[in-house]
Each structure stands twice: as C-alpha cells, then as structure tokens.
C-alpha cells in the first residue's frame, strides 16, 4: 500500500451512486458532522434508542444537543415506532440505529417524524437493505463506521451519506472544518491499528484480549469506544476501507449463510433467535440471542467461553452508563430487559461448518435444549 497515494473510492461511489459521500475519522464524528450541518437549535433533543453504544450519546452532546432516550422493539433490537410517536413532539431529529445490521421500520419512522430529520446509524449495517434500498440511502442522511472490530475492520474511519443536496453542501463544509491528523498521530495510529487488528482476531481474542479486556474495560478505553476526537479521515484508513469493500458482498453472503445454519440448528432450543422480515435484507453483522434471565445468560456465557467460544453481552451496560452519565432515568423497559438477557454468539464468515457445529453442540449441552 502506498501511504501517499489517493484512495480509489470508485466501488464506494458505485454502491452509493445516488448519494453524496463524505469521510471522517470515525462513525461518531460522522454523526457529529451531520448534526452540525443540520443547523438545529442549540440544545435540541435528539431522539436515540437507549440500546446502543454510548459513543452515539457523546456525539450528540459534542454537537451541542441532548440525547432523548427511546425504547426498542425487543424482537428486532431497533427503535420502537410506538415510543417514537409518544416522544416526537419533544425532539428535533431522530437517529434510527440498524442494530446488528437489522433495519427498523423506516417507513413508519419517517412517517412519524414528518419534516424532522431521520438519521440512519449504519455502523453495523453496511450492505443491509430495507425494501431493496441500501441502508444509509433511505432517510435524511446516514453514517457508517470502518473501525477495527466492525464488520469491515478497516482500522478507523467513518462515512457520511445523503441525497439532500443542500445538506450535502453543509456536510462538506463541516468536514472541511475538521483538523487534519498530524504526522505523529498517523504513525501512532498505524501501530495501534496493527495491534488491535491482531488482538481482535482468533486465536488471540479468545486467549488474550477477551480475558484481559473484560477485567480492565472500565479503566482503559482499549478500542476508543468512549474517547471523542474529531478529525478528517486518515488516507491509510480510507485506502483500506476502499479495498476491503470490494469483496464485502461475498463476506456478507457467507455470514448470512452461517447465520441461517445457526437458526436452523438452534430452533429446538429455548433461545430467542433472530429473524428477518419480508422488507429487510440483514447483513448479520452479529448474531444476537436472548435468554430468559440475566443469571442464566451469564452462566451460559461463561460455560461457552470455557469451551473456546467467544460471546458478548453487547450494550448490556448502556442503561447503567446512561443513568450515570447521560441523564437517563426510566422509560425504556424493553431496552432494560434486553440488556439483561442479550448474548451474541459467533457467526463470522470465516467459520467453517465444523466450527458452527461445535458452537451448536456446546449451546445444547448448556441446558438450552427444549424439554
């Protein structure tokens, strides 16, 4: 890779041919840029699902606004249109998060929002579709993340998409205001990205990163989840993202196939399994299941890890974090219940049939099989 050459973003432009595209150093910066470009009244309430990464709340606050927490549909993990309808008069814009790559009911959300902007958080949802349209091209604007650990794992970087010409011009101006990464920053970033890329993948994730990270995650921000520094995208990150996206559809198809295999072979368990509606095409960024109780979830998660199967309780701490740091009090019971029962199990496109069978058999041996 030539570090000084321009990134070839032809494939990205082809994918999002009906949209204006811009790039930043992260998904959260991309959200920040959109909110600034919308020129909303200062301290506006921004409707956002409570069930998400707290970095979304940080971006809202950094842009000069306040998160107003919305509940989710517990079957789809995405924004509840019913709760949105209750709160729509209190908010100036809505963030619709495609959690786990699963699009929400965007028609209903946009109808409820009316003239108010709807922003698609596509950090999990590259190449997911709603009614045949790519996520990020449907509502007012969309934003993506290329960070290591995300589906595309391109190091760092974010992307903004919109079909609104006036908003596109404002977004371009906001991106131009962002600082350029310094030379020292670029060198440090390359070293950190290489380390993260190694530690986040097998076998080091299960053997080293997960055990250590679980113990120190509240003390050290290993994956830059909570630190917030706006900047333009680094050329190296854009080059990697542009290259990886060329083969991304093939990876999505493999991950969808693995996910369908898990669904078919886990139907005889007590797990609440993911599903697709007729209107959506999910990239299956992650494979979420729900268990009947937090105690059971935690027990089985530990048993699976002892069998060498990585699991995650994604966003399970967000309600607690939101209460402590972002002013959440109550009003999202579905989110709180899901946070206690959610477990993500491996479905990665690199997994072979024998590995998937190992996961399936290990799950059934934990006592999840129906009686």
Per-residue pLDDT of the chain (371 residues; tens, 9 = 90+): 455 568 899 999 999 998 999 999 999 999 999 999 999 999 999 999 999 999 999 999 999 999 999 999 999 999 999 999 999 999 999 999 999 999 999 999 999 999 999 999 999 999 999 999 999 999 999 999 998 566 666 668 999 999 999 999 999 999 999 999 866 555 555 555 554 444 455 544 444 445 544 444 444 444 444 557 899 999 989 999 999 998 999 999 999 999 999 999 999 999 999 999 999 999 999 999 999 899 999 998 999 999 999 999 999 999 999 999 999 999 999 999 999 999 999 999 999 999 999 999 999 988 766 64
Phi/psi for 133 (5° steps) reads -105, 140
pTM > 0.85: yes or no: yes
What the block records as the tokens of 192 is 């950190």
Beta bridge partners of 48: 69
Strands 66-70 and 45-49: parallel
Please give the Cα distance from 110 to 87 (Å, whole number): 14
R_g over Cα of the chain: 20
Q: CA–CA separation, 59 vs 66, rounded Å?
A: 10
DSSP label at residue 46: E
Chain centre to alpha carbon of residue 73: 17
Place of tokens 């998937």: 356
Length reported for the chain: 371
Instruction: Supply φ then ψ for residue 33, to 5 degrees.
Output: -65, -45
Strand partners, 233: none
Q: How many CB atoms within 10 Å of residue 4? A: 6
Domains within the chain, CATH numbers bracketed: 10-177 (3.40.640.10), 183-230 (no CATH), 247-368 (3.90.1150.10)
Taking each helix axis from N to C end, the angle separating 248-265 and 353-363, rounded to the nearest 10 degrees, works out to 40
Angle at 260 between CA 258 and CA 266, to 5 degrees: 100
- The CA angle 75-80-85, to the nearest 5 degrees, is 155
Among 324, 304, 320, 353, smallest CA distance to 51 is for: 320
């Amino acid at each position: 890779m030539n570090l000084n050459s321009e990134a070839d973003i032809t494939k990205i432009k082809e994918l999002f041919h009906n949209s204006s595209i811009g790039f930043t150093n992260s998904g959260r910066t991309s959200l920040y840029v959109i909110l600034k470009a919308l020129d909303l009244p200062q301290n506006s309430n921004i409707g956002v699902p409570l069930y998400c990464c707290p970095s979304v709340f940080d971006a809202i606050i950094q842009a000069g606004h306040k998160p107003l927490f919305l509940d989710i549909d517990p079957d789809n993990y995405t924004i509840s249109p019913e709760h949105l309808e209750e709160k729509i008069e209190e908010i100036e814009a809505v963030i619709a998060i495609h959690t786990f790559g699963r699009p929400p009911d965007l028609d209903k959300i946009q109808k409820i929002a009316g003239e108010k902007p709807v922003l698609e958080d596509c950090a999990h949802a590259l190449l997911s579709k709603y009614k045949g349209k790519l996520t990020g091209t449907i509502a007012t604007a969309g934003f993506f993340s290329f960070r290591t650990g995300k589906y595309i794992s391109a190091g760092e970087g974010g992307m903004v998409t919109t079909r609104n010409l006036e908003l596109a011009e404002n977004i371009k101006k906001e991106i131009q205001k962002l600082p350029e990464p310094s030379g020292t920053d670029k060198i440090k970033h390359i070293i950190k990205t290489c380390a993260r890329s190694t530690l986040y993948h097998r076998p080091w994730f299960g053997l080293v990163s997960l055990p250590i990270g679980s113990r120190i995650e509240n003390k050290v921000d290993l994956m830059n989840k909570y630190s917030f520094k706006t900047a333009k995208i680094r050329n190296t990150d854009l080059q990697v993202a542009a290259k990886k996206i060329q083969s991304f559809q093939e990876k999505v198809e493999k991950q969808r196939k693995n996910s369908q295999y898990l669904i078919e072979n886990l139907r005889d368990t007590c797990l609440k399994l993911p599903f697709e509606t007729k209107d959506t095409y999910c990239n299956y960024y992650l494979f979420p299941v729900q268990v009947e109780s937090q105690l059971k979830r935690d027990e089985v998660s530990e048993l699976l890890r002892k069998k060498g199967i990585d699991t995650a309780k994604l966003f399970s701490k967000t309600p607690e974090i939101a209460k402590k740091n972002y002013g959440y009090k109550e009003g999202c019971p579905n989110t709180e219940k899901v946070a206690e029962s959610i477990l993500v199990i491996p479905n990665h496109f690199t997994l072979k049939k024998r590995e998937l069978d190992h996961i399936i058999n290990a799950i059934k041996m934990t006592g999840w099989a129906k009686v």
